[in-house]
Amino acid sequence: MDTELTADPRRRGVRSGALAVLGLALVVAVMVPPLATIARRNLVAESIQFCVLAMVGPALIALGAQRSRPSRGRAGWPLLAGTVLALGAWIGACLVWRLPPVLDALARHPALAAAELVTLLLPGIGLWLELVSSPRSAPGPARPWRALIAALAMWSMWIIAYLLGFARGSVVHAYDAGGSLGMVNDQEITAVLLWLVSTFCFAPLIFVPVLAWLREGADSDEDTTPRVSGGVRGWTKGTGRTSAGQARR
């Protein structure tokens, strides 16, 4: 039994390390040729790179690093304020790198990809470390608040995707038109990609904490329900004899 208990944390640690390695590998893959070269010419490929840097990579790295995360002394509102600040930094970075002039600049100046890497990956990891929890990590915000912040992150990405995908005409001009597909179609494909990836990343953080919170509330209600005590040992049996004697009379 002791061997199983000690082996289980080790297996969890191996899985966590594998997630972090996978996240780092994806980040490296989109930042080096050939994917990095294609991303400077094709808007859909550039959006795939953006999704990895802003959402997929930070999520995997944070999920892998949370078990070794040092404990923090913050609690209550200061802890929630830190999470809100992390959310604001992440939304701001995502919004800047989805602006049409910035997208055109990325295509014309490939060196800007390094700045995109830093300004998307670090806020993304910070946000995810605030949202995920682990027995060995510092406590995150309360579950309903955590779900709300994850929903705000997902909705912000939906809005960014909507503005880019449903713009009237082409709003970016430095990328190839995608063969038979026009740039407007590339923008629409990009919007769908952002919707799908953001939903896949953030939806579990919305529903799982809420369901766990509701389950804990139901369990606490059951614990506070008054129960009829059995009384002193032998009392019930004695009461039964007294009642039987009264019935004979």
Instruction: Report which listed range, 9-13, 28-32, 132-136, 139-143, is most confident.
Output: 28-32
Least confident of 64-73, 137-146, 176-185, 205-214: 64-73
45 contact partners, CB below 8 Å, separation of at least 6: 35, 38, 39
Contacts by 210-217, CB closer than 8 A, 24 or more apart: 210/143, 210/144, 210/147, 212/143, 213/142, 213/143, 213/144, 213/147
Residue 38's pLDDT band (cuts 50, 70, 90):
very high
pLDDT in tens, 75-124: 455 667 888 999 999 999 999 999 999 999 999 999 999 999 999 999 99
Inter-axis angle of helices 77-97 and 143-165, to 10 degrees? Answer: 10
Contact 146/140 with Cβ under 8 angstroms?
A: yes
> Distance of CA 69 to CAs 60, 126, 182, Å?
14, 12, 46
Exposure b/e, 68-92, CB count within 10 A at least 16 = b:
eeeeeeeeeeebbebbbebbebbbe
Q: How many whole angstroms separate alpha carbon 157 and alpha carbon 201?
A: 11
Spatial CA neighbour of 27 closest among 69, 61, 68? 61
Task: Please tell me the predicted confidence (pLDDT) of residue 214.
Answer: 77
Percent of the chain with pLDDT over 70: 69
pLDDT bracket for residue 247 (50, 70, 90)? very low
| Average pLDDT rounded to a whole number, residues 127-148 | 72
- pLDDT score for 239: 46
C-beta atoms surrounding 208 within 10 Å? 14
Given this model, what pLDDT does residue 181 score?
Answer: 61
What does the domain layout of the chain look like in residue ranges?
Answer: 9-68+77-219
pLDDT reading at 127 higher than 80:
yes
The pLDDT value given to residue 153: 97
**What number is the average pLDDT over the span 196-208?**
93
Quick check: 10 pLDDT over 70?
no
Angle at 143 between CA 124 and CA 92, to 5 degrees: 25
Going by C-alpha positions, the residue among 123, 148, 9, 140 that lies closest to residue 58 is 123
Tokens 């909507």 appear where?
162
Q: What is the mean pLDDT of residues 120-141?
A: 77
